[in-house]
Structure 1
Amino acid sequence: MKVKSSATSPVRPAQLVEHHVITGILDGTYPPGRLLPNERQLAEIIGVARPPLRETLHRLANEGWLTIAHGKPTQVNDYWEKGSMGVLSTLVKYIDTLPAGFVIHLMEVRSRLLPIIAGLAVAQAPDEVHTYLEAAGQIDDDVSAFVDFDWRLHLFLATQSRNPIYKLILNDLSTMFKTLAAAYFSIPAARAASRQYYRDLSTAVQAGSRRVETVVMDAMMQSISLWESIRVIRS
């Protein structure tokens, strides 16, 4: 992934630093345990001043990518072990170099989380959920329409669950979800599967939260299979 710029939005030094460090970590240039070049050397390598370099390195350290200790070289962490939710937000910018299995792991987490959210939403507000799903039949058959509706549905269910923590979790994943969803909904089979999922979910609302959880789980597992088919097509 290259850092992009334009006449109206020049690349900021912080972007250059982040790109150099994160792509270096992801491609193995800076493996876990490796020490980064000292501040002066790294600033020269990237072509930035030291203040924005220092600021960006500290932000990445807060996310768990690096360990910074006063008077010692900056060390690269195993971000799977040390990383916070901020790692997810940063990783989505580097979708072309995501670690093997990352998307599937993320989808597996979603397949456990969304059934709970949907079940709680239906238990709290079945009529509101049913009414909301009626709009699914009007979705245009294009990628952006599906990305928008699917994400808004997630947020709506999280809101109706009456547990605000779920919405905070989804908000933190919003950029990554939308980026990956654009690839997912680019294939007709995924859009067709989602249309059927929305219909099944609407029907399940009348049967209660347990049936809803089953329908959502089945749909999430099907989406994993469809994502695997996308990888085969593109490979």
Structure 2
Amino acid sequence: MNLKSSSPPVRPARRVEHKIITGILDGTFPPGSALPNERQLAEALGVARPPLRETLHRLAAEGWLTIAHGKPTVVNDYWEKGGMGLLSTLARYIDVLPHGFVVHLLAVRSRLLPVIAELAVKRAPDDVLAFLDQAESLEDNAQAFAAFDWQLQLFMAGKTGNPIYKLMLNDFSGLFATLAAAYFAIPMARNASRNYYRVLAAAIQAEGSQVETVVRDAMEESVAIWEKVAVSD
């Protein structure tokens, strides 16, 4: 599937980031390997050393690199060393993500969102229903569905009474924004989501007894749709 391009940006800091992150993701800089020294890397990228140094330290803070004074900068296994902060960086390089990353990400959502929805409906069923009513007037295009679906997730997280859920979703925002644009470009995905919103509303009206199941089934269906289309492409 053709997703957002990760062509090299013009700004020096972004150019440094692009070279290093794409190199890590495509295997040019495998885990455990050392980057060229600061002078060599600055010359190769055509950037000054201050923005290079700043970017390297930011990437180290996210878990991509290990920097030790007087030693080479080493590439980490980001699966092991990375934290939630690197998700916002990964959103800019979604077309070079390792195989299976998107499915893993969607699988996490399929575990997290049912719990969020269940708590939200227990605390504020009428508010969630009122939000879902907007789905009936959605335009049949990827942009409208992507915006609504993400706002629904954030809205429900805000209604749980636990602010940590919203903080967790915020970490996924960049990746899901990019994924949603591609996912909802698929007519089958829009149809499945429109049906999901209606079934969820019906479950809430039936005193919410099946909310968690409805949301989990919808999330698992979204994974299946993505896998089917990704394989066909």
How many matched pairs? Answer: 228
Q: Is the CA contact (8 Å cut-off) linking 1:146 and 1:191 kept in structure 2?
A: yes
Counterparts of 1:56 and 1:209, CA distance in 2: 48
CA apart distance, 1:233: 2.9
Q: Is the CA contact (8 Å cut-off) linking 1:122 and 1:208 kept in structure 2?
A: no
Counterparts of 1:210 and 1:109, CA distance in 2: 23
CA apart distance, 1:209: 4.3
Counterparts of 2:98 and 2:11, CA distance in 1: 26
Equivalent residues in 2 for 1:3-42, closer than 5 Å: 3-4=8-9, 11-42=10-41
Deviations 1:48-77 (A, max 9, x none): 011100000000000000000111110000
The reply to whether residue 179 of structure 1 matches residue 178 of structure 2 is: yes
Aligned to 2:3: none
Q: In structure 2, what residue type is equivalent to 1:225?
A: A
Aligned to 1:90: 89
Counterparts of 2:207 and 2:71, CA distance in 1: 58
Counterparts of 1:144 and 1:78, CA distance in 2: 34
CA apart distance, 1:87: 1.5
Q: Relative to 1, partners in 2 of residues 1:81 and 1:210: Cα closer, same or farther, differing over 3 Å?
A: farther
CA apart distance, 1:170: 1.0
Counterparts of 1:135 and 1:36, CA distance in 2: 50
Aligned to 1:160: 159
Q: Which moved more, 1:142-151 or 1:201-210?
A: 201-210
User: Any gaps of 5 or more consecutive residues in structure 1?
Assistant: 5-10
Counterparts of 1:171 and 1:113, CA distance in 2: 13
Q: Secondary structure at the match of 1:85?
A: coil
Q: Is the CA contact (8 Å cut-off) linking 2:132 and 2:197 kept in structure 1?
A: yes
Deviations 1:129-185 (A, max 9, x none): 111111111101011000011011001100111111111111121111010001100
Aligned to 2:192: 193
Deviations 1:69-94 (A, max 9, x none): 11111000000000011221111111
CA apart distance, 1:2: 1.4
Q: Is the CA contact (8 Å cut-off) linking 2:87 and 2:174 kept in structure 1?
A: no
Q: In structure 2, what residue type is equivalent to 1:232?
A: V
CA apart distance, 1:210: 4.3
Counterparts of 1:132 and 1:16, CA distance in 2: 41
Q: Choose which of 3, 7, 21 in structure 2 pairs with 1:2.
A: 7
Counterparts of 1:62 and 1:209, CA distance in 2: 42
Aligned to 2:42: 43
What TM-score comes out, normalization by structure 1 length? 0.95
What TM-score comes out, normalization by structure 2 length? 0.96
Counterparts of 1:24 and 1:230, CA distance in 2: 27
User: Any gaps of 5 or more consecutive residues in structure 2?
Assistant: 1-5
- Structure with the bigger RCO (C-alpha within 8 Å, sep 6+) is 2
Counterparts of 1:165 and 1:140, CA distance in 2: 32
Aligned to 1:7: none
Q: Is the CA contact (8 Å cut-off) linking 1:66 and 1:77 kept in structure 2?
A: yes
Identity %: 66
Aligned to 1:217: 216
Aligned to 1:62: 61
Q: Is the CA contact (8 Å cut-off) linking 2:34 and 2:74 kept in structure 1?
A: yes
Q: Secondary structure at the match of 2:72?
A: coil
Counterparts of 2:63 and 2:144, CA distance in 1: 35
Q: In structure 2, what residue type is equivalent to 1:195?
A: R
Counterparts of 1:62 and 1:24, CA distance in 2: 18
Aligned to 1:75: 74
Q: In structure 2, what residue type is equivalent to 1:84?
A: G
